[in-house]
Amino acid sequence: MSKIVVIGDIHGRDIWKQIINIENDWDKVIFIGDYLDSYDIPGMKQLENLMDIIEFKKANHDKVELLWGNHDHQYQKFSQNEMYSGYQAGMASQFQFKLDEYKHLFKIAHQEGNYLFSHAGISEEWCNDSFENWNLEDIVKQVNELYYYQPFHFNIQPGQSHCGQETYQGPLWIRPKSLMLANKKSELKKKFIQVVGHTSYKTIDMGKATGCRYYFIDTLEDDRGEYLVIENNKPINKKVNYE
């Protein structure tokens, strides 16, 4: 018996607390990244919420997974001054300080059985470009170690898409169509169901058109409040009401 609660891009919202209270018999909680950069929540409130998430992780170290998102990545020291939508210039130094202090609690990818979790998705083409040798059994470990020792960026090349529409782009930035195209004939697609956020959807999309190999869960904006529960290997789309 297992119950995994997967929480999409929160961008400063504390709705995750309500979700955790509802799903109080969870075995694992996975945050898909993008903890910062709200357009309507004050910067200090976003920082307080980030610290609450970090404390939640520290109190449940082996049961909570914090994944990096592109909006978190851009505040790290090595981000090469990458600034994207919602960038909080006035809070940047404080965000950076806390993310640097607790970076050991975050990672790029996580695996549970045949489910592969990352912020935007892992493309076979990106793997081929990033590793001299990679294999399906170790890909999660390889991706996490690469980011830790040689932090990668958004893979935006001159003249190419700045919106993630290139198949070679990485797990912080690639968009769903590019991800699915890159993996159309990939062993990654055969082995894993990829669960990702990054691209806003009106409702959780479980990729029926692609053989249910992708779940797109960036669905917490506005009053949608949708999140994913994987219970005994079965995905369930759930909704929480904003208070």
**What is the rounded CA–CA span in Å between residue 140 and residue 77?**
24
Contact between residue 5 and residue 233 where contact means Cβ atoms under 8 Å apart:
no
**pLDDT of 119:** 97
pLDDT of residue 156: 52
CATH of the domain at 61: 3.60.21.10
| Nearest Cα residue to 69 out of 215, 217, 178, 230 | 217
pLDDT of residue 91: 92
- What pLDDT sits at residue 76? 82
Question: What pLDDT does 210 receive?
Answer: 76
pLDDT tens column, 212-230? 999 999 999 877 899 999 9
pLDDT at 155: 54
Residue 17 carries which side chain, given as an amino acid letter?
K
pLDDT in the model for residue 41: 93
**pLDDT tens digits in sequence order for the chain, 243 residues long:** 699 999 999 999 999 999 999 999 999 999 999 999 998 999 999 999 999 999 999 999 999 999 999 999 888 866 555 666 778 888 999 999 999 999 999 999 999 999 999 999 999 999 998 999 999 999 999 999 999 887 776 555 545 556 668 888 899 999 999 999 999 999 999 999 999 999 999 999 988 777 899 999 999 987 789 999 999 999 999 999 876
Q: What is the three-state SS of 144-168?
A: HHHHHHCCCCCCCCCCCCCCCCCCC
3-state secondary structure 44-64: HHHHHHHHHHHHHHHHCCCCE
| Cα distances (Å, whole numbers) of residue 104 to 69, 99, 127, 195, 203 | 15, 9, 23, 22, 32
Q: What is the largest CA-CA distance in the chain?
A: 49
- Name the residue range of residue 235's domain: 3-239
pTM: 0.94
Q: Per the structure, how many domains does the chain have?
A: 1
Q: By C-alpha distance, which of 184, 183, 156, 180 is closest to 169?
A: 156
Q: What is the spatial distance between Cα 227 and Cα 180, in angstroms, rounded to a whole number?
A: 22
Concatenating the DSSP letter of every residue in 72-84 gives: HHTTSTTSTT---
